[in-house]
Amino acid sequence: MPMHVGLVHFLVVSAVLFSLGIYGVITRKNAIMVLMGIELILNAANINFIAFTRFGTMNISGQVVAVFVIILAAAEAAVLLAIVLNIFQQMNTVNVDEVDKLKN
């Protein structure tokens, strides 16, 4: 490990964030908690993009891709929240393991 903070430091932070997101996605049953795990994973990916923009040979394109990731995350959160609200009205639960009916 180099002495000064460099590319690897940011990548390690991103890897830890990614693993925590994976853990959250596979342990939580509440759909909103699963969404929070997904947001952690997307943030980890964005840190990677921007770290490579800064330290790698990639030019500013990495930041543009990060903008698209943020846009997708916002759209995904809106749609997922709408679905969760609808499921809650129909089935009175938001735990993903209890939502196991295709029809009522």
Partner 1 sequence: MDWYDILFYAFAVLTIGSAIGVVFSRNIVYAAFSLLFTFFGVAALYVLLSADFIAITQILLYVGGVLVLIVFGIMLTTRAQKVEVKQGFIRLLPPVLVAGIIAGTLIGVLTTTKWPAAGLAPYEETARPIGALLMTTFVLPFELASILLLVALIGAVIIARREKTRRV
Residues of this chain, 57-86, that bind partner 1 according to CB under 8 A:
57, 60-61, 63-64, 66-68, 70-79, 81-86
Nearest C-alpha neighbor of 81 from the set 90, 68, 67, 94 = 94
- Residue 9 makes contact with partner 1 by CB under 8 A: yes
Q: Does 91 bind partner 1 (CB under 8 A)?
A: no
Cβ–Cβ < 8 Å for 70, 78: no
Residues 10-39 that bind partner 1 (CB under 8 A): 10-13, 15-24, 26-30, 32-33, 35-37, 39
Q: Does 45 bind partner 1 (CB under 8 A)?
A: no
Alpha carbon distances (Å) from 86 to 49, 67, 79, 89, 94: 35, 29, 11, 5, 10
Residue 45 CB, nearest distance to partner 1 (Å)?
11
| CA–CA dist 89, 63 (Å, integer) | 39
Is 5 near partner 1 (CB under 8 A)?
A: yes
10 Å Cβ neighbour count for 35? 19
Instruction: Give the nearest distance from C-beta 94 to partner 1 in angstroms.
Output: 5
